[in-house]
Amino acid sequence: MQRNRLFIKLSGLFLVILLVTGLISTYITTFTAIHYFQEANQRLNAKLAQYTVDHLPNTFLPDGKIDTNSIQDLMHSMMVINPDVEVYLIDANGKILTDVAPDKVVVRHQVNMDPIRRFIATDGKSYILGDDPRDQLGSKVFSAAPILQDGHLKGYYYIILASQEQAGVFSMLREAYALKLGSKLLLFTLLGSLLIGIVVFWYQTKQLRHISGVMADFQQGDYQARIAEDKSPDFGILRNTFNDMASKIQAYIQKIISIDSFRKELIANISHDLRTPLSIIQGYTETMMMKHGQLPEETAVTYIENIHESSKRLTGLVNQLFELSKLESNQIELHKEPFAVDELVKDMMHRYEILASKKSITLKFNNRKKIPLVLGDIALVERVIQNILDNAMKFTPQGGIIEVSITHDDKHVKIQISDNGEGISESEQSAIFDRYIKSAGALKQSAGSGLGLAIARKIIELHDSTIQVKSKLHAGSTFSFQLPALHAKPVMP
C-alpha cells in the first residue's frame, strides 16, 4: 500500500485536472457557440436598418417633426415578421428619439455612437456589439444605417437584433446546452482521458515501485542491489545516479571492512610476531637475573648481544607493521618531486658494499645511458629499493651477483634488480607481495617478517604503477617497477 500512494495521488490529481479542464472547455464551447450565433445573426440582418431607411424616405417631415405614424407602421410590420428585433430612431449624437420596444421598457436615453460608426464603416461585415437601450450595462448585436435627407444627416436607425426575450430564452438553452455538452465531454473525452492517464501513471509508478524496492533492499543491507535498465527506461538519470551512489557506498563499505579486517589481522600478527623476540629477551634477562654474578663474562656478553639483536628485530618489526598500516589506510601523503633515480641507486649500492663484501657478493650497476629525472616521492622510492635489495642480499649465496639496471623510454624509467639466489617457484610468485607471505626459501631463514615486499608493492601502487617479479627456483629473481619520466622543456633564448 505504501508503494501505491504515489499512484493514487497522481490519479486523483489527474482527475481534478480533467474536471477543471472539462468545465473550462464546456464554458468556452458554450460561449463560442453563442458568439457564433450572434455573429451569424448580425451578418444575416446587417442590411435591416438600411432596408428601413429605403422604405421610409421621409422619416423626418419638412417641419422637422418625425413621421411617427409611418415609422410605427413599418416597425410593427418588421416585428411581426421578426419579433426578436427592437427598432430605435436616434439622432446624430445617439439620443433615442423614438422606439418600438416590447413593453416600452427603455432604460437608456442615449447610446454610444462609436460602435455604430464602426459598423457603418465596415458595411456590417465585422462582429460589433452596441449598447442595449433596455439594459444599463448590456450590449447586443445590431444593425444601423444613417438617415440622409437633402444631403444632410438627420439621424440613424438603430435596430437591436436580439431582444431581451430572446436573451432570456438563450440563457435557459445555454444552461441546458452546457449541461448536455459537459455530460458528453465527461463521459467520452474526460473518461477516456482518465483511463489513458491511469494506465500511463500505473506504468510510470510501476517503474518507481521497482526503483523504491531496490532502494529498500539496499537500505536493508543488500549492497549488490542495483536498478535494472530494462525496468526503468524512463528514469535513466535517477537510475544512473542511484547506481553510481550505491557503487561508491559499497566501495566505502568494503574499504571499511578491509581496514577493520586488516586491523584485526594486524593485532593477531603483532601478538604472534612479537612473541618470539620478546620471549628471547625475557628468557635471557631472567637467566641473567637468576645467575647474577655467576655467569662467565663471555656468556653474559653473548646473552646481551642476543638481547640486543632481538630488541633490534622487535623495533624493526614494529616499525614495519605501523608503516604498512599507514600505507594500507592511505594515511601517508606522497610528496612528489623530480629526482635522479640513477644517483639514488648509486648511493644506496655504496651502503651495501660492506655487507656484500662480507658475503663475497658482487654488486653491479648497469647504466650506460643518460637517465631522465623521474617524478615521485624520493624517500618512499628509496624504501622500495632498500626492501628489494635487503631480500636480494638475504637470499643470494656467497659468491653470487646482484645487478641493478635502469632503462627508459619516452614516458617511463624502469628500475630492475636481479640476483642469482634461491629463486621463487611459480606457485608462490603471485602471493609473495601479500602480508606475512614468505617463499619456501624465506621460510628457511629465521629473520624476516614477510612485510618488506608488501610495503614495496603498496608504495609503487601509490605512484600509479606496479611491481613485477620474474623468478625461477634455484636460478634467482628479478624485481622491476617503473616511474614516470620527467622530460625538461627546452629553455627559450
CATH number assigned to the domain comprising residue 403: 3.30.565.10
User: Which pLDDT belongs to residue 440?
Assistant: 41
Instruction: Please indicate, yes or no, whether residues 267 and 351 belong to a single structural domain of this protein.
Output: no
Instruction: Please indicate, yes or no, whether residues 314 and 388 belong to a single structural domain of this protein.
Output: no
**Stronger pLDDT, 161 or 104, i.e. the higher one:** 161
Instruction: Please indicate, yes or no, whether residues 349 and 470 belong to a single structural domain of this protein.
Output: yes
Report for 71-85, 415-429, 458-472: range of highest mean pLDDT: 458-472
User: Which pLDDT belongs to residue 47?
Assistant: 87
Which residue, chain included where needed, has cell 571492512? 257
CATH code of the domain in which 150 resides: 3.30.450.20
Task: Find the mean pLDDT for residues 134-152.
Answer: 86
Q: How many CA atoms lie within 13 A of 20 on its CB side?
A: 6
**Which of 95, 128, 160 marks a domain boundary?**
160
Report if residue 196 sits inside a domain. no
Instruction: Please indicate, yes or no, whether residues 366 and 300 belong to a single structural domain of this protein.
Output: no
pTM of the full predicted structure?
A: 0.44
Instruction: Please indicate, yes or no, whether residues 344 and 403 belong to a single structural domain of this protein.
Output: yes
Cell of 186: 465527461
How is residue 126 annotated by DSSP?
S
- The whole-angstrom separation of Cα 299 and Cα 312 is 20
The mean-pLDDT minimum among 164-168, 186-190, 229-233, 271-275 falls in 164-168
Mark residue 134 as left, alpha or beta (left: phi above 0; alpha: psi -120 to 50; beta: remaining).
alpha
| Predicted confidence band of residue 209 (pLDDT cuts 50, 70, 90) | confident
**Which of 298, 328, 358 marks a domain boundary?**
328
Instruction: Please indicate, yes or no, whether residues 248 and 312 belong to a single structural domain of this protein.
Output: yes
User: Which pLDDT belongs to residue 414?
Assistant: 92
User: Which pLDDT belongs to residue 373?
Assistant: 92
CA distances from 70 to 55, 84, 417 (A): 10, 20, 132
Report if residue 226 sits inside a domain. no
Cell of 245: 551512489
Contact 14, 197 (CB under 8 A): yes
CATH code of the domain in which 248 resides: 1.10.287.130
The mean-pLDDT minimum among 151-160, 337-346, 387-396, 420-429 falls in 420-429
Helix axes 378-395, 341-351, angle to 10 degrees: 40
- The whole-angstrom separation of Cα 144 and Cα 120 is 7
Task: Find the mean pLDDT for residues 10-23.
Answer: 71
Report if residue 201 sits inside a domain. no
Report if residue 202 sits inside a domain. no
Report if residue 281 sits inside a domain. yes
| Predicted confidence band of residue 151 (pLDDT cuts 50, 70, 90) | confident
Instruction: Please indicate, yes or no, whether residues 387 and 322 belong to a single structural domain of this protein.
Output: no
User: Which pLDDT belongs to residue 447?
Assistant: 45
User: Which pLDDT belongs to residue 114?
Assistant: 93
Task: Find the mean pLDDT for residues 162-167.
Answer: 62
- The whole-angstrom separation of Cα 136 and Cα 473 is 117
Report if residue 15 sits inside a domain. no
Instruction: Please indicate, yes or no, whether residues 321 and 344 belong to a single structural domain of this protein.
Output: no
Cβ neighbours of residue 311 closer than 8 Å, sequence gap 6 or more: 277, 281
Instruction: Please indicate, yes or no, whether residues 346 and 425 belong to a single structural domain of this protein.
Output: yes
Instruction: Please indicate, yes or no, whether residues 440 and 461 belong to a single structural domain of this protein.
Output: yes
Indicate the number of domains in the chain: 3
CA distances from 16 to 198, 216, 402 (A): 13, 32, 86
Please give the residue range of the domain that contains residue 150: 46-160
**Stronger pLDDT, 359 or 24, i.e. the higher one:** 359
Instruction: Please indicate, yes or no, whether residues 352 and 480 belong to a single structural domain of this protein.
Output: yes
Report if residue 27 sits inside a domain. no
**Which of 282, 299, 328 marks a domain boundary?**
328
Instruction: Please indicate, yes or no, whether residues 307 and 363 belong to a single structural domain of this protein.
Output: no
Contact 12, 201 (CB under 8 A): no
Report if residue 401 sits inside a domain. yes
